[in-house]
Amino acid sequence: QVQLVESGGGLVQPGGSLRLSCAASGSTLDYYGIGWFRQAPGKEREGVSCISSSDGYTYYEDSVKGRFTISRDKAKNTVYLQMNSLKPEDTAVYYCAASGLATQTCDGYEYDYWGQGTEVTVSS
């Protein structure tokens, strides 16, 4: 079992940047696919960016392509979501989640372990 803790959220102006971190304990992230998901007020959870355990599969939701980048630091057992050119519509609680070795989707129902979330607010 893996435990996940998100950090890095906060208040940022439109056009600004944040880097979210998902720190894992209990297991190496080498064994998991990792997804970043978000849920805005009044909206359903959506997959933002996902990466497979082998790093052979990556996914970005259309609205974040070219702005967000998902990456792993294996030595730190941490996954990051670099968010640039932030827009007000990016405002949400962001969650990281871990899936099994074979997962190559960004469907939240494929993900077994979830962090508590970190809030991102994009506002002037």
**DSSP characters over 62-120:** GGGTTTEEEEEEGGGTEEEEEE-S--GGG-EEEEEEEE-TT-----GGGEEEE---EEE
pLDDT at 23: 96
Q: What is the DSSP letter of 43?
A: S
d(CA 17, CA 24): 23
- Burial (0-12, 13-18, 19+ Cβ within 10 Å), 25: exposed
Q: Over its length of 124 residues, how does the chain's per-residue pLDDT go in tens digits?
A: 899 999 999 999 999 999 999 999 998 888 899 999 999 999 999 999 999 988 789 999 999 999 999 999 989 999 999 999 999 999 999 999 999 877 889 999 999 999 999 999 999 9
3-state secondary structure of 31: helix
